[in-house]
Every structure is written in C-alpha cells, then in structure tokens.
Amino acid sequence: MAIPSSSAHQLLFCLLVLVFTPFPSHSADPDPLQDICVADLNATFSVNGYPCKPASQVTSEDFFFDGMSKEGNTSNVFGLGVIRADVQTFPGLNTQGISMVRADLAPGGLNPPHTHPRASESGVVIKGKLLVGFVTTDNVFYSKVLTAGEMFIIPRGLIHFQLNVGEGKALFLVAFNSQLPGVVTDATSLFFTTPPIPNQVLTKTFQVGDEVINLIKSKLAA
C-alpha cells in the first residue's frame, strides 16, 4: 500500500532527527569541559584539536552553517560532490564531538572505497537509489540497495562505499561522532601520495606490471 505524501515526509523527518541528534556520551572525541569552544583556525598551535578563540570574538554566526544547502560539484572522475561540515569548515563544532557531510552523486557516481579512522558513520538517503556496502576486518562484505528515507551505519575505521544505482541524481547526508573524522580514500592514498609510493610496492601488491600502475594513475588524474 502506498504511503501518503504527508506521512512519508513525517517519517523522513523522524529519521533525520534520529540520525543527527548528537549523543555526547557516545562521541569518539573527548568530552568538552565548557559550553562552547569555537575553534580558532588561525592559531599557531593545536593539541589534539583547536584552541578556543576569545569569548569576546564569538558571534551567533559561529554556530550556524549554510554550506550544506548547496549541491556539491559532481564534475569529476567519480561523479561525487562532497560538502563537509566539520570543525575546519564550521568552527562552532570544536569540542562537540560531531560533524556532518552532504554527498551528491551524479547518475552512476561513486563515493569510492574509503575509511574514517576517527569516527563511526550513520547516514540517511535523501534522494535516489544507493548501493551502500562495507567490509569487516574478517573480509566479510555487507551491502544493501537503499532509497529515500532509509538509513545505514558504517562501523568506525571499516572500508566502505556508496554507489548511485538509480537513474537520476542521488543525495545522502552523513553524521559522524567526531568533529574531524578524517578520510582515507584507498585509490588516492595509494596512487597519489607525496612523495609517491614506489611502483615496486604497488606492482608487487596488485601483482601487475608498471604499465597498469601508470594507467591507473593517469585515469585517476583525469
């Protein structure tokens, strides 16, 4: 039986509230010692985070962020547009142990296999159809195709991806239990380091020749 449009919107709103309501006791970051600590991104030092900027310089604008209202740019090799709302783009998140990401995927677009070393990830599909999957440390692969209103969870540090398998654009929102979860994308981390990983390591790892490694690098650089 079809769900009435108003009921579907109410259900999606409830899911969003559940996904993005912060739970400080479950944060991957240390608990805050004061109400607010807006990050001073211009500080010359930091110790496992950012120092607070002086209270006299804090304004209401420090606690609001409109960056995620805009669609991400998907004009790249992966068809992926990501807008981060973490402590480096939204300083009011400093010491709060949370952050978010908006991800837009063009038709056939991919958020390639990657990990977040400092956070677990929960997300909800807003538009489109996504194949979401992750791999455990026992090399077990879990995946499912999701549509608007459906949620997923990615345990901390595990390799995962999101692939747009629908006919149109896709959009999903993600919440992390860290102000700066970090991201290690397998492809770029292996083939675009500074300085570069020696080809000898990569050819031995993947059991291929130099020509294949160089082709991969050229494709990713396109």
The binding site for oxalate comprises 111, 116, 121
> Which residues are annotated binding-site positions?
111, 114, 116, 121, 160
CB-CB contact of 143 with 66 (8 Å): no
Question: Per-residue b/e over 181-208, b at no fewer than 16 CB within 10 Å?
Answer: bebeeebeebbeeeeeeeeeebeeeeee
CB-CB contact of 183 with 34 (8 Å): no
CB-CB contact of 198 with 47 (8 Å): no
CA distance 23 to 70: 27
> Which residues are annotated binding-site positions for Mn(2+)?
114, 116, 121, 160
What are the helix (H) ranges across the chain?
5-20, 186-191, 199-206, 210-221
